Protein backbone atom coordinates (compact mmCIF):
# COMPACT_ATOMS: atom_id res chain seq x y z
CA UNK A 1 0.00 0.00 0.00
CA UNK A 2 1.17 3.59 -0.57
CA UNK A 3 2.35 5.64 2.40
CA UNK A 4 -0.13 8.43 1.68
CA UNK A 5 -3.45 8.91 -0.10
CA UNK A 6 -4.37 12.48 -0.99
CA UNK A 7 -7.93 13.39 -1.99
CA UNK A 8 -9.04 16.42 -4.00
CA UNK A 9 -12.42 17.84 -4.95
CA UNK A 10 -11.58 20.28 -7.75
CA UNK A 11 -8.80 20.80 -10.28
CA UNK A 12 -7.79 24.21 -8.90
CA UNK A 13 -6.94 22.62 -5.56
CA UNK A 14 -5.12 19.71 -7.20
CA UNK A 15 -2.90 21.84 -9.43
CA UNK A 16 -2.10 24.20 -6.57
CA UNK A 17 -0.73 21.37 -4.41
CA UNK A 18 0.56 18.85 -6.96
CA UNK A 19 4.26 19.79 -6.73
CA UNK A 20 4.45 19.16 -2.98
CA UNK A 21 3.39 15.52 -3.33
CA UNK A 22 5.86 12.60 -3.60
CA UNK A 23 7.26 12.20 -7.10
CA UNK A 24 6.18 8.56 -7.44
CA UNK A 25 2.50 9.47 -7.27
CA UNK A 26 -0.37 7.87 -9.11
CA UNK A 27 -3.98 8.89 -9.80
CA UNK A 28 -6.86 6.64 -8.79
CA UNK A 29 -10.59 7.00 -9.34
CA UNK A 30 -12.52 3.72 -9.14
CA UNK A 31 -9.32 1.90 -8.21
CA UNK A 32 -10.43 -1.45 -9.66
CA UNK A 33 -7.34 -1.87 -11.85
CA UNK A 34 -4.74 -0.49 -9.44
CA UNK A 35 -5.91 -2.82 -6.67
CA UNK A 36 -5.23 -5.78 -8.94
CA UNK A 37 -1.77 -4.39 -9.71
CA UNK A 38 -1.17 -3.97 -5.98
CA UNK A 39 -2.14 -7.56 -5.24
CA UNK A 40 0.37 -8.78 -7.82
CA UNK A 41 3.12 -6.49 -6.58
CA UNK A 42 3.06 -4.38 -9.73
CA UNK A 43 2.48 -1.00 -8.05
CA UNK A 44 5.21 0.54 -5.93
CA UNK A 45 4.01 4.17 -5.83
CA UNK A 46 4.26 5.83 -2.41
CA UNK A 47 1.35 8.23 -3.00
CA UNK A 48 -2.09 7.76 -4.49
CA UNK A 49 -4.07 10.82 -5.57
CA UNK A 50 -7.79 10.16 -5.23
CA UNK A 51 -9.56 12.07 -8.02
CA UNK A 52 -12.87 10.23 -7.76
CA UNK A 53 -14.77 13.25 -6.42
CA UNK A 54 -13.19 16.04 -8.48
CA UNK A 55 -16.24 17.87 -9.74
CA UNK A 56 -14.89 18.65 -13.23
CA UNK A 57 -14.29 14.95 -13.85
CA UNK A 58 -17.77 13.85 -12.77
CA UNK A 59 -19.76 15.87 -15.27
CA UNK A 60 -21.78 14.77 -18.25
CA UNK A 61 -22.79 17.81 -20.24
CA UNK A 62 -23.87 18.86 -23.71
CA UNK A 63 -21.77 21.65 -25.21
CA UNK A 64 -23.28 22.71 -28.52
CA UNK A 65 -22.74 19.89 -31.00
CA UNK A 66 -20.59 17.94 -28.51
CA UNK A 67 -21.18 15.68 -25.51
CA UNK A 68 -18.60 15.73 -22.70
CA UNK A 69 -18.26 12.74 -20.36
CA UNK A 70 -15.93 13.20 -17.40
CA UNK A 71 -13.27 10.59 -16.76
CA UNK A 72 -14.43 9.90 -13.18
CA UNK A 73 -18.03 9.14 -14.17
CA UNK A 74 -18.90 5.66 -12.95
CA UNK A 75 -19.78 3.07 -15.60
CA UNK A 76 -23.11 2.39 -13.90
CA UNK A 77 -24.03 6.09 -14.07
CA UNK A 78 -23.79 6.21 -17.86
CA UNK A 79 -26.92 4.11 -18.39
CA UNK A 80 -28.98 6.53 -16.28
CA UNK A 81 -28.06 9.64 -18.27
CA UNK A 82 -30.46 10.70 -21.03
CA UNK A 83 -27.79 12.50 -23.08
CA UNK A 84 -25.60 9.39 -23.12
CA UNK A 85 -28.58 7.28 -24.15
CA UNK A 86 -29.31 9.65 -27.03
CA UNK A 87 -25.82 10.43 -28.33
CA UNK A 88 -23.69 7.45 -27.24
CA UNK A 89 -25.80 4.32 -27.77
CA UNK A 90 -22.64 2.20 -28.17
CA UNK A 91 -21.73 2.88 -24.54
CA UNK A 92 -25.21 1.87 -23.45
CA UNK A 93 -24.93 -1.37 -25.46
CA UNK A 94 -21.52 -2.14 -23.90
CA UNK A 95 -22.47 -1.64 -20.25
CA UNK A 96 -24.21 -5.02 -19.67
CA UNK A 97 -21.01 -6.77 -20.78
CA UNK A 98 -18.74 -4.63 -18.61
CA UNK A 99 -17.42 -6.65 -15.65
CA UNK A 100 -20.08 -7.19 -12.94
CA UNK A 101 -22.70 -4.83 -11.42
CA UNK A 102 -20.56 -4.27 -8.32
CA UNK A 103 -17.50 -3.38 -10.42
CA UNK A 104 -19.59 -1.06 -12.62
CA UNK A 105 -20.52 0.89 -9.49
CA UNK A 106 -16.81 1.54 -8.83
CA UNK A 107 -15.07 1.55 -12.21
CA UNK A 108 -14.79 4.72 -14.29
CA UNK A 109 -14.59 5.43 -17.99
CA UNK A 110 -11.26 7.21 -17.47
CA UNK A 111 -9.79 4.22 -15.68
CA UNK A 112 -10.95 1.91 -18.45
CA UNK A 113 -9.06 4.15 -20.88
CA UNK A 114 -5.93 4.73 -18.78
CA UNK A 115 -5.43 0.99 -18.31
CA UNK A 116 -4.80 0.76 -22.09
CA UNK A 117 -6.13 -2.76 -22.30
CA UNK A 118 -6.74 -4.18 -25.80
CA UNK A 119 -10.04 -5.63 -24.50
CA UNK A 120 -11.50 -2.47 -22.87
CA UNK A 121 -15.26 -2.42 -23.49
CA UNK A 122 -15.77 1.28 -22.84
CA UNK A 123 -12.88 2.31 -25.07
CA UNK A 124 -14.10 0.06 -27.87
CA UNK A 125 -17.56 1.66 -27.67
CA UNK A 126 -16.17 5.21 -27.61
CA UNK A 127 -13.88 4.48 -30.55
CA UNK A 128 -16.83 3.45 -32.72
CA UNK A 129 -18.65 6.60 -31.66
CA UNK A 130 -15.72 8.73 -32.84
CA UNK A 131 -14.69 10.11 -29.46
CA UNK A 132 -11.74 12.32 -28.55
CA UNK A 133 -9.88 12.40 -25.23
CA UNK A 134 -9.38 15.60 -23.21
CA UNK A 135 -6.10 15.74 -21.28
CA UNK A 136 -5.29 18.33 -18.62
CA UNK A 137 -1.89 19.24 -17.17
CA UNK A 138 -2.07 22.20 -14.78
CA UNK A 139 -5.00 23.57 -16.80
CA UNK A 140 -3.19 23.27 -20.13
CA UNK A 141 -5.42 21.03 -22.23
CA UNK A 142 -4.87 18.71 -25.15
CA UNK A 143 -7.76 17.29 -27.20
CA UNK A 144 -6.62 14.28 -29.20
CA UNK A 145 -8.08 11.38 -31.19
CA UNK A 146 -9.11 8.73 -28.69
CA UNK A 147 -6.65 6.00 -29.69
CA UNK A 148 -3.68 8.24 -30.55
CA UNK A 149 -1.90 7.95 -27.17
CA UNK A 150 -2.59 4.25 -26.60
CA UNK A 151 0.60 2.55 -27.75
CA UNK A 152 0.00 -1.06 -26.72
CA UNK A 153 -1.10 -3.22 -23.79
CA UNK A 154 -0.82 -1.15 -20.60
CA UNK A 155 1.11 1.54 -22.54
CA UNK A 156 -0.35 5.04 -22.72
CA UNK A 157 1.56 8.19 -23.68
CA UNK A 158 0.56 10.55 -20.88
CA UNK A 159 2.93 13.26 -19.66
CA UNK A 160 3.97 13.34 -16.00
CA UNK A 161 0.92 14.45 -13.96
CA UNK A 162 -1.23 14.77 -17.09
CA UNK A 163 -4.81 13.97 -16.14
CA UNK A 164 -7.49 12.40 -18.29
CA UNK A 165 -10.20 15.01 -17.84
CA UNK A 166 -12.79 13.32 -20.00
CA UNK A 167 -14.03 12.49 -23.45
CA UNK A 168 -15.75 14.48 -26.19
CA UNK A 169 -18.22 12.84 -28.56
CA UNK A 170 -19.85 14.42 -31.59
CA UNK A 171 -23.62 14.52 -31.35
CA UNK A 172 -24.72 12.59 -34.42
CA UNK A 173 -27.92 10.62 -34.84
CA UNK A 174 -26.99 6.97 -35.19
CA UNK A 175 -27.62 3.45 -33.95
CA UNK A 176 -25.14 1.02 -32.42
CA UNK A 177 -24.51 -2.71 -32.18
CA UNK A 178 -22.11 -4.38 -29.74
CA UNK A 179 -20.96 -8.02 -29.81
CA UNK A 180 -18.59 -9.65 -27.35
CA UNK A 181 -17.39 -13.24 -27.10
CA UNK A 182 -16.46 -14.38 -23.59
CA UNK A 183 -15.67 -17.62 -21.83
CA UNK A 184 -18.95 -17.23 -19.95
CA UNK A 185 -22.20 -15.50 -20.82
CA UNK A 186 -21.60 -12.29 -18.86
CA UNK A 187 -18.94 -10.59 -16.72
CA UNK A 188 -16.02 -12.15 -18.59
CA UNK A 189 -12.91 -10.73 -20.25
CA UNK A 190 -13.32 -10.45 -24.00
CA UNK A 191 -12.03 -13.04 -26.44
CA UNK A 192 -13.11 -10.75 -29.28
CA UNK A 193 -15.38 -7.71 -29.49
CA UNK A 194 -16.96 -5.77 -32.35
CA UNK A 195 -18.78 -2.44 -31.98
CA UNK A 196 -20.53 -0.81 -34.90
CA UNK A 197 -22.12 2.67 -35.12
CA UNK A 198 -24.13 3.50 -38.23
CA UNK A 199 -26.68 5.65 -40.03
CA UNK A 200 -28.87 4.12 -42.70
CA UNK A 201 -31.15 5.55 -45.37
CA UNK A 202 -33.40 2.96 -46.97
CA UNK A 203 -30.98 0.17 -47.94
CA UNK A 204 -27.81 2.28 -47.89
CA UNK A 205 -25.40 2.71 -44.96
CA UNK A 206 -24.56 6.41 -45.16
CA UNK A 207 -22.20 6.56 -42.19
CA UNK A 208 -20.34 3.79 -40.41
CA UNK A 209 -17.62 3.27 -37.80
CA UNK A 210 -16.37 -0.16 -36.71
CA UNK A 211 -14.12 -0.73 -33.70
CA UNK A 212 -12.61 -3.99 -32.51
CA UNK A 213 -11.18 -5.26 -29.22
CA UNK A 214 -9.01 -8.25 -28.26
CA UNK A 215 -7.81 -8.79 -31.84
CA UNK A 216 -4.57 -6.82 -31.68
CA UNK A 217 -2.23 -5.06 -29.24
CA UNK A 218 -4.78 -2.26 -28.75
CA UNK A 219 -8.32 -1.26 -29.65
CA UNK A 220 -8.47 -0.64 -33.39
CA UNK A 221 -10.70 0.93 -36.01
CA UNK A 222 -11.61 -1.28 -38.98
CA UNK A 223 -11.45 1.61 -41.43
CA UNK A 224 -10.93 -0.45 -44.59
CA UNK A 225 -14.04 -2.48 -43.85
CA UNK A 226 -16.10 0.58 -42.96
CA UNK A 227 -14.90 2.44 -46.07
CA UNK A 228 -15.95 -0.49 -48.25
CA UNK A 229 -19.45 -0.53 -46.73
CA UNK A 230 -20.21 3.19 -46.63
CA UNK A 231 -22.73 4.40 -49.22
CA UNK A 232 -23.24 0.85 -50.38
CA UNK A 233 -26.37 -1.25 -50.64
CA UNK A 234 -25.94 -4.08 -48.18
CA UNK A 235 -26.62 -7.43 -49.82
CA UNK A 236 -25.18 -10.91 -49.35
CA UNK A 237 -22.30 -10.26 -51.76
CA UNK A 238 -21.29 -7.08 -49.92
CA UNK A 239 -21.45 -8.87 -46.56
CA UNK A 240 -19.20 -11.70 -47.74
CA UNK A 241 -16.63 -9.26 -49.13
CA UNK A 242 -16.69 -7.15 -45.96
CA UNK A 243 -16.02 -10.27 -43.87
CA UNK A 244 -12.96 -11.03 -45.99
CA UNK A 245 -11.67 -7.47 -45.57
CA UNK A 246 -12.10 -7.36 -41.79
CA UNK A 247 -10.20 -10.64 -41.34
CA UNK A 248 -7.19 -8.98 -42.96
CA UNK A 249 -7.45 -5.83 -40.83
CA UNK A 250 -6.78 -7.56 -37.53
CA UNK A 251 -3.72 -9.16 -35.93
CA UNK A 252 -5.00 -11.48 -33.20
CA UNK A 253 -2.73 -13.67 -31.10
CA UNK A 254 -2.96 -16.99 -29.29
CA UNK A 255 -3.28 -16.61 -25.51
CA UNK A 256 -4.92 -18.24 -22.52
CA UNK A 257 -8.37 -16.91 -23.43
CA UNK A 258 -8.49 -17.89 -27.10
CA UNK A 259 -6.48 -18.44 -30.27
CA UNK A 260 -5.82 -16.24 -33.28
CA UNK A 261 -7.77 -18.29 -35.82
CA UNK A 262 -10.87 -18.37 -33.64
CA UNK A 263 -10.71 -14.63 -33.03
CA UNK A 264 -10.42 -13.91 -36.75
CA UNK A 265 -13.41 -16.11 -37.52
CA UNK A 266 -15.63 -14.81 -34.72
CA UNK A 267 -15.03 -11.19 -35.75
CA UNK A 268 -16.24 -12.08 -39.24
CA UNK A 269 -19.26 -13.83 -37.71
CA UNK A 270 -20.02 -10.73 -35.63
CA UNK A 271 -19.76 -8.47 -38.67
CA UNK A 272 -22.03 -10.73 -40.71
CA UNK A 273 -24.55 -10.78 -37.88
CA UNK A 274 -24.41 -6.99 -37.50
CA UNK A 275 -24.88 -6.34 -41.20
CA UNK A 276 -27.76 -8.77 -41.22
CA UNK A 277 -29.42 -6.78 -38.44
CA UNK A 278 -28.82 -3.55 -40.36
CA UNK A 279 -30.42 -5.03 -43.47
CA UNK A 280 -33.53 -5.84 -41.41
CA UNK A 281 -33.53 -2.43 -39.67
CA UNK A 282 -36.50 -0.44 -40.98
3-state secondary structure of 25: strand
Task: Compute the distance between CA of residue 118 and CA of residue 205 in angstroms, rounded to an integer.
Answer: 28
Task: Compute the distance between CA of residue 79 and CA of residue 82 in angstroms, rounded to an integer.
Answer: 8
Q: 64 to each of 82, 171, 271, 276, how far by Cα in Å?
A: 16, 9, 33, 34
pTM, two decimal places: 0.91
Pairing status of strand 204-213 against strand 220-221: antiparallel
Tens-of-pLDDT digits for all 282 residues of the chain? 678 899 999 999 999 999 999 998 989 986 666 655 555 555 668 899 999 999 999 999 999 999 999 999 999 999 999 999 999 999 999 998 876 778 888 889 999 999 999 999 999 999 999 999 999 999 999 999 999 999 999 899 999 999 999 999 999 999 999 999 986 555 567 789 999 999 999 889 999 999 999 999 999 999 999 999 999 989 999 999 999 999 999 988 877 678 889 999 999 999 999 999 998 887
Task: Compute the distance between CA of residue 78 and CA of residue 143 in angstroms, rounded to an integer.
Answer: 22
E strand residue ranges, 153-271: 155-156, 163-170, 175-182, 190-201, 204-213, 220-221, 232-233
Residue 59: what pLDDT? Answer: 97
Supply φ then ψ for residue 197, to 5 degrees: -115, 135
Which of 155, 135, 151 lies closest to 143 in space, CA to CA?
A: 135
Helix axes 260-280, 236-249, angle to 10 degrees: 150
Residue 41: what pLDDT? Answer: 56
Q: 16-50 pLDDT, tens per residue? A: 999 999 998 989 986 666 655 555 555 668 899 99
Pairing status of strand 163-170 against strand 204-213: unpaired
Residues 6+ apart with CB under 8 A from 105: 74, 75, 76
In 14-53, which positions are buried (b, 16+ CB within 10 angstroms) versus exposed (e)? bbeebeebeeebebbbbbbbbeeebeeeebebeebbbbbe
Task: Compute the distance between CA of residue 126 and CA of residue 91 in angstroms, rounded to an integer.
Answer: 7
Q: 50-62 pLDDT, tens per residue? A: 999 999 999 999 9
Amino acid sequence: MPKTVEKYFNLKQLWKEIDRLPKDRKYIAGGTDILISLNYGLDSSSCWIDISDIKELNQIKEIGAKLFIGSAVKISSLSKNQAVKKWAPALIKAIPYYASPSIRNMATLGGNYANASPCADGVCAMAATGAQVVLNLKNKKRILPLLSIIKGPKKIALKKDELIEGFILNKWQHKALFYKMMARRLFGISKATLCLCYKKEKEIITDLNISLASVGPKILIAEKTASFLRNKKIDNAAIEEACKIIKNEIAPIDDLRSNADYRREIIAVFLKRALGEIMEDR
